[in-house]
Structure formats: C-alpha cells, structure tokens
Amino acid sequence: MWQKRIVTLIVLSVCLLTGGIWLVAHGHRPIVISAASAGETDEGILAALQEGCANAVSAIRSGSGQATVYFWSKGADGRILETEAKDDLKFKGDQFLLRENVKYLRDDLVSGKGPSEPPSPTMRTAATSYDLEEVTILDQFDSLEAQARICDPTGSRGKNSINLYKSHVAIVGHGVAYLVPRPGVLPSFVELASVKVAGRETINGDECIMVDVVTTVHLPKPGEGTITVTDTARKWVNPQKGYTIVRTQVWSEGSVYGAKTLVTEINTTVRQYETGVWGPEEVTYQQYDLKGEITQKMVTTYDSAFKLNVPISDGDLTLTLPSGTEVHNELIDAEYTVP
C-alpha cells in the first residue's frame, strides 16, 4: 500500500517537474545560449534558460489538429492494457475540446482475458470539453448507449479528466516547459531542493544543456515518522530549437527505491510549427518499476497538419451531446436523457 502511494506521488512529482511544451514567443527578446556561452556562470545560464522558457509560455494561444496516442501498461500481476487512440484536438488557452476514437488492442485488466482472446470492449468513442467552468465527459463503448457526465473542474473526476488531457495529448505540456516548477505549483509535501547545470550533451546533432531539478517528497507514515524520497529530474534543453526539452529522466532515491533508481524517461522529437516556434512531433514516455522493467509506455504523435495559434471560437470548443445520451450532471445533482 505504501509502495503504491509513494510511486503515485513520484508520478505526480514527475508531472510537475517535466512540465510541457512552451514555444518561443514572437516579440520577446531572443535569448541565445551556445557553445560560446560555456564560460558563463551557471547562475547566468540558468537565468537565461528560465527566461527563455518563461517567454515561450505566452506564445501558445490556441491550436487545432490530430494526434495518435499509443498506450501500454502492465499491472503488478502481469496483466496488460494496450490501446491506440485517434484524437482530434482544439484548444484555446486552458479551454479544450478533445474527441477520441480508442481501439482496445489488449485488455487483460478488465476482461481477465489473455493475449489470444479479443479484448472487451473493442472500441470506445469519447469526448471531453473544458470551458473553465465545467468539464463535460462523453463516453460510448462499442454499440452501447452513450453516457455523459458534467463535472466540477475542481472535483476529483473533473481534475482527472483535465490531467489526462494534459498528460496524453495537450500541446502545452510536451517538449518545452518552465525549467523549474512555478511558485504554488508544488504541493505542500514536495519541496524544491536545488537547480543546477549538469553539463552539455549533443542529441541529434544539437548541443543541449543538462539541468538537474531536485525535489524532496515528505510523506508521513503513521507510527514510523516521515518517509522522504529525493527526485532528480535531469532535463536536456535545446536552446537552438525553441527551448524544447528533448529528454527528461527522473531518478528517485530513498524509501522503497533505496539507491538512485530511474523511474521515468521522456524523449521528444520536435519540429518547427512556424518561424521561431518549435513544438513536439513525437513524445515517448516510459515508466519503470524497481527492477528497471517498463510498466507503462505512451507514444503521442502529432499530425503534420497540426496548427498552432489559429482562430478558435468558444463555439469550436462546445461539446454538443447527441440525442439519447444519458447524462449525470454532478453540478446540480441531476440525471436526465438528452431529447
């Protein structure tokens, strides 16, 4: 139980540390860090990187396009869930409308079936919208009746839906991010310990700057004081391509981990969306157990036609529920069927 909770907190810490894609903003003062900057102090390099990433955050206003998300996970008992989703995404700021067609390639977790048997269900059609006031979730498995929930974005179900969007397919959240967690982002039990330049390394022909962001997780355990885990997120920042973070490795140490253990790795290939603006082309996320075996893998591939900073109206982000949909509106505690 405690191992599972600690790993969950590490994954939360990873999400907070790895951030996302933030593209270089037009109109901001350009920041250049190259091999010639090697004589600069680490403090100066870190300041330049943080400024570059912060400037990039304000560049993304909207986007529209398609992506493919491959997901694979293995439970502690060895059962496997494997899916492939074709996603259609529109977003403006924090608002979004995500439509998904999910094909179940293997689903031992629900059906208990092995790899030789077809999964059940085989298809899921879903959509999620967030308009800053409510989260609407529409689901339909195979040929069953469509069901929908309208949730509070601050409640557990609403938060979970927003976090799934951010971790799976959101443009802002993959490849480029704030270098360190912003004030108020880390929960009370996570403490930012240090940030330092770890060196330079060439990846795919580009010189990247490695930065180690170290946090400590303090988790009280009844009767046994406090469990402390130290996370080191090493980020490879490519200043030549919009301050994209092309690789992140998170190492955990202490408690169930013992010595420093690799728990998460994210590799990102990037492309230029428009002049001076870089973003993700493909993002590969892998999570490891204490033995170093992969327990979760996700590959998000953005279509070449995906566009950023395109006109998006509120109407474009409206999820209209089809006739006959059974709705549970948690905001008003009511159930009804769409006429």
The pLDDT tens digits for 117-172 are: 666 668 899 999 999 999 999 998 876 788 999 999 999 999 999 999 999 999 87
Give per-residue burial for 43-79: e unless 16+ CB within 10 Å, then b: eebbebbbebbbbbbebbebbbbbbebebbbbeeeeb
- Pairing relation of β-strands 123-130 and 95-107? antiparallel
pTM, two decimal places:
0.85
Share of the chain above pLDDT 90, in %: 60
The DSSP result for 293-326, as a single string, is -EEEEEEEEE-TT-EES----TGGG--PPPTT-E
In terms of pLDDT, which residue wins out, 47 or 115?
A: 47
Could you report the per-residue pLDDT of 283-300, keeping only the tens digit for each? 999 999 999 999 999 999
H or E segment and range at residue 51? helix 42-57
